Amino acid sequence: MTLIENAVAAYTRQYGNAPTTAALAPGRVEIMGNHTDYNGGFVLPAALDKATVLVGAATGTDTIKIYAADFRREATFSATELQRDPHNSWASYLLGVVDQLQQLGIKIGGFQAVIHSDVPGGAGLSSSAALEVATAFFLKQLFSFDLGPMEIARLCQKAENEFVGVPCGILDQFSSVFGIQDGLMFLDCLTLEHSAVQMGRDDIALVICDSNVKHAHAGGDYTTRRAECMAAAAYFGKQLLREVTWEEFEAGKSGLPENQRKRAEHVLTEDQRVLAMREAAKEGDTAQMGRLLAEGHASCRDSFENTSPEIDLLVALASQIPGCIGAKMTGGGWGGCTINLVYADAVPEFCQALAASYKEHTGNNASVYACRAAQGARAIPI
């Protein structure tokens, strides 16, 4: 059964009738552009063939009922007085979107919905953005409002910033909305100009490796990194690091505190790596792609300091396995997943070898699996 079919079956069990409306939004991996988004920089992500779906119907009441099929919990809210529920914090990603739409003056009435997802939660693959974006595409059908794709991506980011309270950039929501089948996307986070990037060869697979280790302070560390970047930009008299040139940085960096210097160095070099990676991907230049992935990871590890021992180990082990083009961390950091570009015909052996070698070194089980780059969010006819 597909995700949608499962969700429809769960809805019918839960609410006794059939849903009218369905929407799907994918998770993402960031191939290059780590912590560049909120600095106004460049990103190069792919949406994944792992997604969150919402199915449901308007009820003509003022009550919102959401059933999370994956952990069998239902939560109920008033559509006219949105309140966070600390016992059901998962619902805040959905409510945050309702809240943003209402702030725009769009009337969102009562509805019932089932959420179902195969995006691994808390793994750095943007399960939160997938839920926000699926919610927006679902509500757009139920309450027909006129927002374009970039407006939806920004609205979902705002929902996460303001209602959930996570100061993320736009990378995740952009990726979930704009994903393209078997391709990457490029976004300039300052101008919001974006384009599809087709890989110059079709024998490259995306392999995700989840260390299955979560680090407790990741949220707080994200906020600290963001503040360090903003402080470094302010030192140069700029609002965003994107506006600082490499020459300005080189000339002034000795006056920066060490932590800010390292964060800024990562962000400025990472922006260059995104541009280089975009070209290498288009040309199918796997040697260059491998070099850039290795440099990107080293910059996260040594300058941005947002990796973890397990992630560093996974990247080091992956790069010794035949068929691996390159590997790096992906997402916010301090745990989560690595992204590995692997020649398609080597994928089964690569996955097996990486899991075995990680187990041998740590005694822990990593989850290693191939993904495809997938189309972005959409309404699904049911």
- Pick 38 or 90: Cβ nearer ligand GLA: 38
Tokens (6 digits) for 39: 């600095």
Tokens (6 digits) for 171: 């990378």
Q: Shortest approach of ligand GLA to residue 190 CB, angstroms?
A: 14
- Pick 35 or 116: Cβ nearer ligand GLA: 35
DSSP code of 255? G
Q: Shortest approach of ligand GLA to residue 92 CB, angstroms?
A: 15
Instruction: Determine the residue with CB nearest ligand GLA.
Output: 168
Q: What are the catalytic residues?
A: 172
Q: Which of residues 5-44 bind ligand GLA (CB under 6 A)?
A: 30, 34-35, 37-38
- Pick 65 or 328: Cβ nearer ligand GLA: 328
DSSP letter string, 236-255: TT-SSGGGS-HHHHHHHGGG
Q: Shortest approach of ligand GLA to residue 254 CB, angstroms?
A: 27
- Pick 21 or 330: Cβ nearer ligand GLA: 330
Residue ranges with strand state E in the chain: 21-32, 42-58, 63-68, 73-78, 111-117, 183-188, 194-198, 204-214, 324-330, 335-343, 367-371, 378-379
Q: Shortest approach of ligand GLA to residue 112 CB, angstroms?
A: 29
Q: Shortest approach of ligand GLA to residue 74 CB, angstroms?
A: 27
Contact 140, 148 (CB under 8 A): no
Q: Which of residues 42-101 bind ligand GLA (CB under 6 A)?
A: none
DSSP code of 329? E
DSSP code of 244? S
- The answer to the question of residue 297 lying near ligand GLA (CB under 6 A) is no
Tokens (6 digits) for 305: 């300091």
Q: Which of residues 132-171 bind ligand GLA (CB under 6 A)?
A: 168-169, 171
Burial class of residue 373, CB neighbours in 10 A (0-12, 13-18, 19+): buried
Closest residue by Cα to residue 226 from 161, 175, 301, 159 = 161
Residue 154: C-alpha distances to residues 196, 237, 244, 315 (Å): 19, 26, 24, 32
DSSP code of 311? H
- Pick 45 or 326: Cβ nearer ligand GLA: 45
Can you tell me the distance from the alpha carbon of 268 to that of 3, in angstroms, rounded to the nearest whole number?
A: 40
- The answer to the question of residue 332 lying near ligand GLA (CB under 6 A) is yes
From candidates 49, 172, 228, 310, binder to ligand GLA by CB under 6 A? 172
- Pick 130 or 314: Cβ nearer ligand GLA: 130
Q: Shortest approach of ligand GLA to residue 89 CB, angstroms?
A: 17
**Which residue shows structure tokens 């063939």?**
49
Q: Is 45 helix (H, G, I), strand (E, B) or coil?
A: strand
- Pick 119 or 321: Cβ nearer ligand GLA: 119
From candidates 120, 331, 335, 376, binder to ligand GLA by CB under 6 A? 331
Q: Shortest approach of ligand GLA to residue 223 CB, angstroms?
A: 11
- The answer to the question of residue 228 lying near ligand GLA (CB under 6 A) is no
Tokens (6 digits) for 224: 């600290």
Measured over the CA atoms of residue 125, residue 126, residue 127 and residue 130, the dihedral's sign is: negative
Using CB under 6 A as the criterion, which residues of the chain lie in contact with ligand GLA when the complex forms? 30, 34-35, 37-38, 168-169, 171-172, 331-332
